[in-house]
Structure 1
């Protein structure tokens, strides 16, 4: 991956993300309607993933600021 240009690496990353999105959509072809409990569980899981992503993306810069003595 280090020998690829940034454009090629970005293109491959985008292609991989698109393929994973397609793989994630495949179950919708077989299961047309999800039950209320299943839908609630999946939405709760997605909300937890989004909260964790936002928390962990903010905690690292916050720790860096604290270590640099910039708090307060």
Structure 2
């Protein structure tokens, strides 16, 4: 969606460019937050064998999964 908005800004006047930039930034931020939510949800579903395969333990998973979505 952000890509479509970026390409739509090409023909706009210079006055609309800052507004489009702010909108792009907001949309990118929401997309990042959504990705964090989904990634942490998937991480929480991994079993101990899978966690061992990727080199993390349950304590690290608990820490990551319990962080708010706005924190990296």
Larger Rg: 1
TM-score, length of structure 2 as denominator length? 0.41
TM-score (norm 1): 0.41
**Structure with more of its chain in helix, by fraction:** 1
